[in-house]
Chain A
């Protein structure tokens, strides 16, 4: 009997290793499930509704887009406190571009405004990155200055007046009532994701076999593909279950969520499969060694902040479009949600480790807590206090986990 149990647990262990599921990922999914079920019980079934999950997906998009960049920043032992203020100033700028400098409603207005907003974000990141890398000012100081500077620059741009309304095509990027892709294209996107998941698994397997390396057992490989595919299609089903108010028409996936999906994919490839990402993790793991290996640490640092700025520009597009206004206060305190999402998602503040998907999941956890507490009618100050405790708890758990990993 004992032998048999041992054999079963061995097989289970082999299966887990074969599927290559990070135990941390499993733990986080478990926490998320508990949070969702808990809130659903406490709110009498209000949490796990298509409507609430749809709104949750919109809130996750803004924080998630920025959290993917914050992973690189924190992995490289830096911090960016200015992301919320960047969102604010870029939002006012983008709103001015489309209403004051271009004609709202003209065919080119929306994408020119987007381009300007992305360029502004990239430029801000470039300047902050150069101050950190070449002037050797600690990133904490540079971006704390940025937090103050850009929030007030947002005010200065238009004397604190809100710029609204915005171009109608631009508004779609915020995922409002019309900013979704509908049932058909949502299923198409879901099937595309399934095809991509299967193709990626097959391509990795083929490359490893070509060099004669071990591959997962076919069963474990298939289980992984099926698992991720089910998650993608399940998400589509939920989004399609939410009907546009007043009509029976399915909403489908919101455009910001599609953007987040694309960003997550690109940033994961950048972090895991590109030389730049490899160097970011090396610099974060051991800056002296990275330098001795011939890596230009300063260039890497500038690029990290530039990527972070670009993503702030993208997040600003989404939130500004959703609010249909460029307002001075947009993004206030968002830096804390972004940093918390990144850290809850397993990125170590000591540098050198963290994953993109973890940060996105961290954003889902953070925003679920916020959304659930709002549904329960928890007053805003209490909400923030709970989030603060969760953040500290997450870092404590993370450190305890790492101590156990490295005796």
Chain B
């Protein structure tokens, strides 16, 4: 997928962002490979949301560089990010509850004929195709999304991102509001999308939400990067230590875990 082993899908290097004297993000570097699930962990206010808002074009960084496939890119708006294949699923899901699933999937990117008239059937057909590839079934594509369950709404939000050929998918607390069964389904969907080569960033303040899903975990505290580790090489307790105390596990320090960014 990527240009070579030397160029990850996304690199954020030396990113800083200050809000009125507070360093929300302080010289943070992370990278994401194609087909990888990266968990971004930290308490509220650790700077993880600010960091991904910079990647999704909602905020502009004060310093630092973003590279896609090794090439530097400028992301000035959510529209720029989407054009580069960087899709964000917000915790609120950013769905319009009064519209149906198809309308939400295509919102802002409707299929139209000349003069801007909607091609409703073509959109519904394409929506069914995407949901089918994701092995998802909704009771109706023509019902307002307010009538769907939490997991189904999450699925619509994911389908919206995937439909437009997302390469990078940023998900903010994707399973926080879901019951166990729906959490399991959304988790399976995330692994399936990663298998298809999409790079996925999961943001959470709760390690239990992401520990079983993520290939690697990046921990932030007070705007700084604590460290990044392979999920397989650490225990939950060690990661909790990173989140709460901001300290790397000894094993990782000895093994040079920090060098991974």
Stretch touching chain A among B38-46, B107-115, B216-224: B107-115
Contact A292 B78 (CB under 8 A): yes
Please indicate the chain B residues that have their CB under 8 angstroms from the CB of A404 in the complex.
none
User: Of B107, B109, B121, which is within 8 A of A210 by CB?
Assistant: B121
Q: Does A396 contact B (CB under 8 A)?
A: no
Stretch touching chain A among B22-30, B59-67, B89-97, B183-191: B89-97
Q: Does B176 contact A (CB under 8 A)?
A: no
A136 and B121 alpha carbons, distance in the complex (Å): 37
**Which residues of chain A have a CB within 8 Å of any CB of chain B?**
207-208, 210-211, 213, 269, 273-276, 278-279, 281-282, 284-286, 288-290, 292-295, 352-353, 406
Contact B98 A281 (CB under 8 A): yes
Q: Does B137 contact A (CB under 8 A)?
A: no
B99 to chain A, nearest CB (A): 6
Q: Does B125 contact A (CB under 8 A)?
A: yes
Q: Does B19 contact A (CB under 8 A)?
A: no
A83 and B93 alpha carbons, distance in the complex (Å): 37
What interface size band does chain B fall in?
Answer: 20 to 34
A-B contact list, 9 entries, CB within 8 Å: A207-B121, A211-B122, A211-B125, A213-B124, A275-B117, A290-B107, A292-B94, A294-B109, A352-B97
A78 to chain B, nearest CB (A): 16
**Which residues of chain B have a CB within 8 Å of any CB of chain A?**
78-79, 82, 88, 90, 92-99, 103, 107-110, 112, 116-118, 120-122, 124-125, 146
Please indicate the chain A residues that have their CB under 8 angstroms from the CB of B107 in the complex.
278, 282, 289-290, 293, 295
Please indicate the chain A residues that have their CB under 8 angstroms from the CB of B92 in the complex.
288-289
> Given A276-B116, A281-B98, A288-B94, A295–B108 Cβ distance below 8 Å?
yes
Please indicate the chain A residues that have their CB under 8 angstroms from the CB of B79 in the complex.
294
Please indicate the chain A residues that have their CB under 8 angstroms from the CB of B108 in the complex.
279, 290, 293-295
- Name which residue of chain B comes closest to A275, CB basis: B116
Please indicate the chain B residues that have their CB under 8 angstroms from the CB of A286 in the complex.
94-98
A276 and B118 alpha carbons, distance in the complex (Å): 9
Contact B116 A285 (CB under 8 A): no
Q: B82, B99, B110: which has the most chain A beta carbons within 10 Å?
A: B99
User: Of B78, B88, B96, B125, which is within 8 A of A282 by CB?
Assistant: B96
Contact A289 B125 (CB under 8 A): no
Please indicate the chain B residues that have their CB under 8 angstroms from the CB of A273 in the complex.
117-118, 120
> Given A275-B118, A293-B107, A295-B107, A285–B124 Cβ distance below 8 Å?
no
Q: Which 5 A-B pairs have the closest CB atoms?
A: A293-B108, A285-B98, A294-B108, A285-B96, A352-B98
Please indicate the chain A residues that have their CB under 8 angstroms from the CB of B117 in the complex.
269, 273-275
> Given A274-B116, A294-B108, A294-B109, A213–B121 Cβ distance below 8 Å?
yes
Contact A290 B96 (CB under 8 A): yes
Please indicate the chain A residues that have their CB under 8 angstroms from the CB of B120 in the complex.
273
Contact A285 B97 (CB under 8 A): yes
A275 and B99 alpha carbons, distance in the complex (Å): 13
Please indicate the chain A residues that have their CB under 8 angstroms from the CB of B116 in the complex.
274-276
Please indicate the chain B residues that have their CB under 8 angstroms from the CB of A281 in the complex.
96, 98-99
